[in-house]
Amino acid sequence: MQKIIVIGAGPAGLSAAIWLRRFDLHPIVLDSHDRPGGQLLSIGNLIPDFPGIPEVAGPDLAARLAAHASALGVQIRQNIVVEGIDPESGVVRTTTGPYGYDRLIIASGSRQKTLGIPGEAEMIGRGEVYSASQDAQRFAGRTVVIVGGGDRAVENALLLAEAAARVVLVHRSPVFRGQDRFLDRMAKTANIEVRAPARVLRIVGRDRVEGVEIEQGSEIRILPCAAVLVRIGVTGNTSFLNDTSLIDERGFLRVDERCRTRLPNVWAIGDVALDPFFASISAGIGQAAMVAKQLV
């Protein structure tokens, strides 16, 4: 029986496993989180664009996918972090020991990029990581700093402003990359203040975020705030891969039109291998079906 390992129990990894069972193959899914679902677990609003299930909550879709996979006999192993891959010997190294593979599917997803400034790691360590859709109400009447200039940053600014927060959007360039429809709405929203070009130098506060130090032109000032949301783009979860030739300049796995990586018998699907513009639940699920058929 061929050994098939799937890294990641997000929608792409779980879908690959479901499809593999359809062909009577027996994948093992390894996932670092304590629950399957990947980013679905952090979607606070109802998902409007998953075909066939209108308005499904992210955690509900995660539970349905995991239940479907488990009912078919897929082994989903949580709390296992993949630390490396040895392609010559066909071994995945993990925090709980090695897993041999004949075929490997990487579906490790993506994460928000960080600024790497003082105070940021402490903020994340304290759990001050917010979702604009889920947490907007808690910031009504308070100041929130959002860092970034793309769609996510502007959309998050609009969501928080709608919930009556005072939003300060800090962007390092004077040019915003967000879609015109978002930028037009932002220009008409009185409680969003734009600082650009400007940089956040550090996040201030010992036990909780109390402010940010912002550099704008020749001025450096502390701006008091209740929260900081960093929305400067995403990157692939690829830290377990040493070979930099496998990864593009933005941190995503390079794949061909069949989702094959440059390593023999190793495929990559979902957010880890998609241009962020195309990243979606549906795109990852589609790739999962494509890859499973190649393993038959």
Ligand X SMILES: Cc1cc2nc3c(=O)[nH]c(=O)nc-3n(C[C@H](O)[C@H](O)[C@H](O)COP(=O)(O)OP(=O)(O)OC[C@H]3O[C@@H](n4cnc5c(N)ncnc54)[C@H](O)[C@@H]3O)c2cc1C
Q: Minimum CB separation from ligand X for residue 166, in Å?
A: 22
- Look at residues 87, 67, 62, 71 and name the one whose alpha carbon lies nearest to residue 8: 62
> In this complex, which beta carbon is closest to ligand X, that of residue 65 or of residue 204?
65
The residues that bridge with 77 in the sheet, in sequence order, are 30
Give the one residue of 4, 5, 6, 12 binding ligand X; rule: CB under 6 A.
Answer: 12
Give the one residue of 270, 291, 292, 295 binding ligand X; rule: CB under 6 A.
Answer: 270
Give the one residue of 271, 291, 292, 295 binding ligand X; rule: CB under 6 A.
Answer: 271
Whole-angstrom Cα Rg for the chain? 21
Interacting positions 209-238 with ligand X (CB under 6 A): 237
Which residue, judged by CB position, is nearest to ligand X in the bound state?
109
Which phi and psi (to 5°) does residue 111 adopt? Answer: -145, 160
Give the one residue of 109, 148, 149, 178 binding ligand X; rule: CB under 6 A.
Answer: 109
Interacting positions 47-106 with ligand X (CB under 6 A): 47, 49, 81-82
Overall size of the chain counted in residues:
296
Applying CB under 6 A, the span of 18-26, 43-51, 224-232, 242-250 interacting with ligand X comes to 43-51
Give the one residue of 195, 280, 286, 290 binding ligand X; rule: CB under 6 A.
Answer: 280
Give the one residue of 59, 210, 233, 240 binding ligand X; rule: CB under 6 A.
Answer: 240
User: Count residues contacting ligand X (CB under 6 A)?
Assistant: 34
The set of residues, in sequence order, having a beta carbon less than 8 Å from that of 240 and lying 6+ positions away, is: 7, 82, 83, 84, 85, 93, 108
Q: Minimum CB separation from ligand X for residue 29, in Å?
A: 9
Rule CB under 6 A: say whether 25 interacts with ligand X: no
Rule CB under 6 A: say whether 32 interacts with ligand X: yes
Q: CA distances (Å), 52 to each of 6, 47, 49, 61, 145, in order? A: 26, 11, 9, 12, 37
Using DSSP's 3-state secondary structure scheme, residue 93 falls into strand
The tally of CA atoms less than 13 A away on the side-chain side of residue 178 is: 26
- Look at residues 33, 25, 2 and name the one whose alpha carbon lies nearest to residue 10: 33
Q: Minimum CB separation from ligand X for residue 16, in Å?
A: 9
Give the one residue of 38, 150, 178, 236 binding ligand X; rule: CB under 6 A.
Answer: 38
**Left (φ > 0), alpha (ψ -120 to 50) or beta: where does 217 sit?**
left
d(CA 183, CA 188): 9
Give the one residue of 17, 65, 108, 158 binding ligand X; rule: CB under 6 A.
Answer: 108
Strands 75-77, 27-30: pairing is: parallel
Question: Which spans of this chain sit near ligand X (rule: CB under 6 A)?
Answer: 7-13, 30-33, 38-40, 42-43, 47, 49, 81-82, 107-110, 131, 237, 240, 270-271, 279-282, 284
